[in-house]
């Protein structure tokens, strides 16, 4: 029996597309609100010198969870500061607090409602099961379309992932209130509101707080995932470390996350019954904290009123001083960062994320004729789909025209001479690569696109395979990063090898791991080495451990790219 595939994916696509358009106003409202809330928190916690915040938090922890925890908080935060992760830690803290706040705001009422109403419970619980088991990555995809890239989609995805325990535990806590107490309160004639707030909620509080605590921990566990769509903070530091294979940095950022997790966990666990609650009443401490926060806000409000951002019509104001970047390990990101220093673009920041997220952002801006600046490279299909231009780079920070090289592991020549020969003879032109990219962009799967291009270019392909031995089922692994250029080239050469009798697998990885994989022999080849400048560092790190087969394409270019309707022409004008 051959049933056609149910087009579930494309239904979801159309549905999401419809929502994106229909609720655009709502989404930008949510984005602005969350962004505002987040900035508020970052501003408050980052107001004074770090030591002030460290002391306040350490005292708070000592109060809620005994003096040992106070000392732990003090020392671990000093360490985070010393290692240079202070800014990131504050960002992460703010992200988790905002997700936590949203969780409480929405989760507790929903939990109460489902405790009071069987039908609601029957509907909500399976949805929660679904939300919790669906891999959190999946939420990132529509989040990008709805909320753009940056911190907001990350917060929304964490919130969806983290809200379940709060709802469940609120529901449970209220249902578990003993029946005789309910009956007693009914007997005294309490209204259902009185019953809820005077009997059920107080008794359920420990359970509800346990749920909130779990939600906050889950939100914290999402920070690395959220950084894939551009959320800043310790998660982004970890992601960057993976992308560049930086073990030390990964560990430092990782341990900082652990410290924050411990602090938040102990704080939320003991908030209700502080360890020294018998000495100072909780409400006094709470009032002091609130007073501190309000005081900081007032002082800051007075201070910021004066330096409003410059001309809102200038490109900086319109783009929020953001350059939309891609994977943090990409060579072009390093170049873009140098451009910020070289051209003195002090206000600007480079948003890290992924190539796909960057493209989604470009599409959205382009449709609305909004200004946007991205890190772009050619060949790329985006230049045929959109009217774009490179910003002039008079200082040459992005290097000149480059080559893409094929690199194979040591020993491949002996182990698989046929594949080695094909890889060595592989060479094509920017137009070829662009054709494959356009097929993919128009909806073909990468392997279909590769097949189509191969079928149309038999003459070229036969030059690559000329004189090579057949594969006879020999295994061959190619590594690549999910850049459109590399998706195209790797799929094409992979298909060629496959049609020549090799059993080919393709592994998508981050930039650092791509080089390391071929250098340590766990992968056979890569065809996306951008040289001499884009991948200079990676190349130099591993060059003694692999074989460079020379170029497979020449005439690439990197730079900052804007739609033609943006009225600047040079990076210098960003200043
Ligand atoms: N790129 C495309 C890569 C190389 C291929 C320009 C985004 C980079 O910057 O590392």
423 and 526 inside one domain: yes
Assess whether pLDDT exceeds 80 at residue 313. no
Q: How many residues does the chain have?
A: 575
Assess whether pLDDT exceeds 70 at residue 178. yes
Which one of 558, 559, 561 would you pick to mutate in the ligand 1 pocket, going by the greatest count of ligand atoms within 8 A of its CB? 558
Which one of 481, 515, 537, 551 would you pick to mutate in the ligand 1 pocket, going by the greatest count of ligand atoms within 8 A of its CB? 481
C-beta of 527 in contact with ligand 1 (< 6 A): no
C-beta of 523 in contact with ligand 1 (< 6 A): no
CB 177 within 8 A of CB 136: no
Q: How many helices (H) and strands (E) does the chain have?
A: 27, 9
User: In this structure, what is the dihedral angle of CA atoms 250, 256, 258, 262, given to the nearest 10 degrees?
Assistant: 180
Lowest mean per-residue pLDDT among 225-229, 295-299, 335-339, 441-445: 295-299
Partners of 530 in beta bridges:
404
**Beta-sheet pairing, 402-409 with 475-480:** unpaired
158 falls within a domain: yes
**Beta-sheet pairing, 322-324 with 349-351:** parallel
Q: Which residue, of 303, 334, 349, is where some domain finishes?
A: 303
C-beta of 398 in contact with ligand 1 (< 6 A): no
Distance (angstroms) between ligand 1 centre and the Cα of 166 equals: 42
331 and 299 inside one domain: no
User: Distance of alpha carbon 496 from its chain centroid, rounded?
Assistant: 34
**pLDDT of amino acid 451:** 97
138 and 214 inside one domain: yes
Distance (angstroms) between ligand 1 centre and the Cα of 460 equals: 25
What is the C-alpha to C-alpha distance for residues 202 and 373, in angstroms, rounded to an integer? 52
C-beta of 375 in contact with ligand 1 (< 6 A): no
Which of 143, 161, 160 lies closest to 152, judged by CA? 143
196 and 93 inside one domain: yes
313 falls within a domain: no
Distance (angstroms) between ligand 1 centre and the Cα of 64 equals: 49
Distance (angstroms) between ligand 1 centre and the Cα of 558 equals: 8
Mean pLDDT of 311-336: 89
Buried b (16+ CB within 10 A) or exposed e, 355-369: bbbbbbbbebbbeee
**pLDDT of amino acid 186:** 87
| DSSP 3-state of 361 | helix
CB 397 within 8 A of CB 451: no
358 and 410 inside one domain: yes
Which of 110, 115, 272 lies closest to 200, judged by CA? 115
- How far are the Cα atoms of 110, 249, 250, 398, 518 from residue 512, in angstroms, in the given order? 44, 14, 13, 20, 10
What is the C-alpha to C-alpha distance for residues 517 and 535, in angstroms, rounded to an integer? 15
9 falls within a domain: no
Mean pLDDT of the chain: 92
Helices (H), 279-376: 282-304, 315-319, 331-342, 355-367
**pLDDT of amino acid 48:** 84
**pLDDT of amino acid 308:** 47
CB 540 within 8 A of CB 515: no
Distance (angstroms) between ligand 1 centre and the Cα of 481 equals: 9
Inter-helix orientation angle 234-243/247-270, to 10°: 150
C-beta of 72 in contact with ligand 1 (< 6 A): no
CB 564 within 8 A of CB 366: no
150 and 28 inside one domain: yes
Distance (angstroms) between ligand 1 centre and the Cα of 378 equals: 9
C-beta of 381 in contact with ligand 1 (< 6 A): no
What is the C-alpha to C-alpha distance for residues 82 and 71, in angstroms, rounded to an integer? 16
Distance (angstroms) between ligand 1 centre and the Cα of 327 equals: 9
pLDDT tens readout for residues 338-397: 999 999 999 999 999 999 899 999 998 998 899 999 999 999 999 999 999 999 999 999
Distance (angstroms) between ligand 1 centre and the Cα of 519 equals: 19
Domain count, the chain: 2
CB 228 within 8 A of CB 353: yes
Identify which has the larger pLDDT, 475 or 304: 475
230 and 354 inside one domain: no
Take residue 91 and report the two structure tokens written for it.
């960002």
Which of 63, 64, 175, 161 lies closest to 111, judged by CA? 175
Take residue 497 and report the two structure tokens written for it.
């090898």
Q: Which residue, of 271, 303, 335, is where some domain finishes?
A: 303
**pLDDT of amino acid 305:** 52
Contacts of 425 (CB under 8 A, 6+ apart): 463, 464, 465, 466, 468
| DSSP 3-state of 102 | helix
Assess whether pLDDT exceeds 80 at residue 427. yes
235 falls within a domain: yes
**pLDDT of amino acid 556:** 95
Inter-helix orientation angle 86-116/24-45, to 10°: 130
Residue 66 burial (C-beta neighbours within 10 Å; 0-12, 13-18, 19+):
middle
54 falls within a domain: yes
Atom of ligand 1 nearest to the CA of 511: 10
**pLDDT of amino acid 281:** 85
**pLDDT of amino acid 462:** 96
49 and 123 inside one domain: yes
Contacts of 39 (CB under 8 A, 6+ apart): none
Atom of ligand 1 nearest to the CA of 375: 7
What is the C-alpha to C-alpha distance for residues 520 and 538, in angstroms, rounded to an integer? 13
Which one of 485, 487, 490, 528 would you pick to mutate in the ligand 1 pocket, going by the greatest count of ligand atoms within 8 A of its CB? 485
Which one of 323, 325, 330 would you pick to mutate in the ligand 1 pocket, going by the greatest count of ligand atoms within 8 A of its CB? 330
202 falls within a domain: yes
Which of 10, 44, 15, 33 lies closest to 304, judged by CA? 44
513 and 543 inside one domain: yes
Q: Whose CA is nearest to atom 2 of ligand 1?
A: 483
- How far are the Cα atoms of 334, 338, 397, 478, 546 from residue 541, in angstroms, in the given order? 16, 20, 21, 20, 11
Mean pLDDT of 238-256: 93
**pLDDT of amino acid 292:** 87
C-beta of 390 in contact with ligand 1 (< 6 A): no
**pLDDT of amino acid 381:** 94
Atom of ligand 1 nearest to the CA of 486: 5
pLDDT tens readout for residues 462-498: 999 999 999 999 999 999 999 999 999 999 999 999 9
Answer yes or no: pTM beyond 0.85. no
Atom of ligand 1 nearest to the CA of 333: 9
C-beta of 485 in contact with ligand 1 (< 6 A): yes
The fraction of the chain above a pLDDT of 70, given in percent, is 98
315 falls within a domain: no
C-beta of 558 in contact with ligand 1 (< 6 A): yes
CATH number for position 283: 1.10.3720.10
**pLDDT of amino acid 392:** 96
Identify which has the larger pLDDT, 66 or 310: 66
Assess whether pLDDT exceeds 80 at residue 269. yes
Q: Whose CA is nearest to atom 3 of ligand 1?
A: 330
Take residue 454 and report the two structure tokens written for it.
């191969």
| DSSP 3-state of 374 | strand
109 and 138 inside one domain: yes
Assess whether pLDDT exceeds 80 at residue 310. no
6 falls within a domain: no
pLDDT tens readout for residues 505-559: 999 999 999 999 999 999 999 999 999 999 999 999 999 999 999 999 999 999 9
C-beta of 335 in contact with ligand 1 (< 6 A): no
pLDDT band at 312 (very low <50, low <70, confident <90, very high): low
Distance (angstroms) between ligand 1 centre and the Cα of 450 equals: 20
Mean pLDDT of 236-240: 92
CATH number for position 556: 3.10.105.10
Residue 106 belongs to what domain range? 24-303
What is the C-alpha to C-alpha distance for residues 241 and 80, in angstroms, rounded to an integer? 16
289 and 416 inside one domain: no
Assess whether pLDDT exceeds 90 at residue 244. no
pLDDT band at 279 (very low <50, low <70, confident <90, very high): confident
CB 490 within 8 A of CB 517: no
CA distance between the termini of the chain:
64
What is the C-alpha to C-alpha distance for residues 39 and 61, in angstroms, rounded to an integer? 24
**pLDDT of amino acid 173:** 95
pLDDT band at 285 (very low <50, low <70, confident <90, very high): confident
Which one of 483, 527, 555 would you pick to mutate in the ligand 1 pocket, going by the greatest count of ligand atoms within 8 A of its CB? 483
C-beta of 534 in contact with ligand 1 (< 6 A): yes
240 and 328 inside one domain: no
C-beta of 354 in contact with ligand 1 (< 6 A): no
């Amino acid at each position: 029996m051959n049933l056609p595939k149910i087009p579930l994916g494309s239904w979801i696509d159309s549905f999401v597309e419809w929502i994106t358009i229909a609720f655009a106003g709502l989404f930008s409202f949510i984005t602005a609100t969350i962004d505002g809330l987040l900035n508020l928190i970052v501003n408050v916690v980052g107001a004074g010198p770090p030591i002030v915040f460290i002391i306040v938090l350490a005292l708070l922890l000592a109060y809620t969870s005994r003096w040992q925890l106070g000392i732990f908080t003090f020392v671990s935060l000093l360490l985070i500061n010393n290692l240079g992760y202070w800014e990131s830690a504050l960002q992460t803290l703010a992200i988790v607090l905002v997700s936590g706040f949203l969780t409480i705001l929405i989760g507790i009422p929903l939990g109460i409602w489902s405790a009071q109403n069987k039908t609601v419970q029957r509907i909500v619980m399976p949805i929660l099961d679904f939300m919790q088991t669906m891999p959190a990555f999946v939420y990132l995809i529509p989040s990008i379309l709805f909320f753009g890239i940056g911190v907001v989609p990350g917060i929304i995805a964490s919130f969806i992932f983290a809200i379940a325990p709060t709802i469940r535990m609120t529901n449970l806590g209220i249902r578990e209130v003993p029946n005789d107490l309910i009956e007693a309160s009914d007997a005294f004639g309490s209204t259902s509101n009185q019953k809820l707030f005077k009997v059920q909620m107080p008794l359920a509080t420990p359970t509800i707080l346990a749920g909130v605590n779990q939600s906050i921990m889950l939100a914290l566990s999402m920070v690395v995932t959220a950084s894939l769509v551009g959320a800043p903070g310790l998660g982004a530091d970890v992601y960057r470390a993976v992308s560049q294979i930086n073990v030390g940095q990964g560990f430092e950022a990782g341990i900082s996350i652990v410290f924050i997790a411990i602090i938040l966990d102990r704080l939320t666990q003991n908030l209700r019954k502080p360890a020294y609650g018998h000495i100072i009443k909780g409400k006094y401490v709470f009032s002091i904290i609130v007073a501190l926060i309000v005081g900081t806000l007032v002082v800051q409000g007075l201070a910021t009123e004066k330096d409003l951002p410059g001309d809102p019509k200038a490109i900086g104001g319109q783009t929020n001083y953001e350059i939309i970047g891609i994977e943090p390990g990409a060579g072009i990101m390093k170049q873009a960062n140098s451009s910020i220093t070289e051209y003195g673009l002090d206000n600007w920041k480079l948003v890290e994320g992924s190539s796909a997220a960057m493209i989604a952002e470009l599409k959205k801006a382009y449709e609305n004729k909004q200004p946007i600046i991205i890190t772009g490279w050619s060949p790329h299909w985006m230049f045929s789909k959109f009217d774009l231009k490179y910003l002039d780079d008079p200082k040459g920070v992005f290097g000149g025209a480059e080559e893409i090289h094929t690199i194979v592991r040591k020993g491949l020549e002996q182990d698989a001479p046929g594949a080695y020969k094909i890889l060595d003879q592989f060479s094509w032109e920017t137009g070829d690569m662009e054709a494959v990219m356009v097929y993919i962009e128009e909806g073909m799967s990468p392997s279909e696109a590769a097949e189509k291009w191969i079928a149309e270019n038999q003459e070229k392909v036969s030059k690559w395979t000329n004189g090579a031995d057949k594969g006879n089922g020999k295994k061959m692994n190619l590594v690549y990063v999910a850049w459109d250029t590399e998706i195209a080239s790797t799929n094409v050469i992979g298909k060629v090898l496959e049609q020549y009798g090799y059993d080919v697998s393709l592994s998508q990885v981050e930039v650092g791991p791509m080089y390391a994989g071929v250098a340590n022999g766990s992968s056979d080849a890569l065809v996306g080495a951008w040289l001499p400048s884009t991948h200079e560092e990676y190349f130099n790190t591993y060059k003694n451990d692999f074989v460079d087969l020379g170029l497979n394409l020449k005439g690439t270019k990197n730079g900052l790219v804007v739609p033609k309707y943006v009225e600047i022409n040079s990076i210098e004008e960003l200043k």
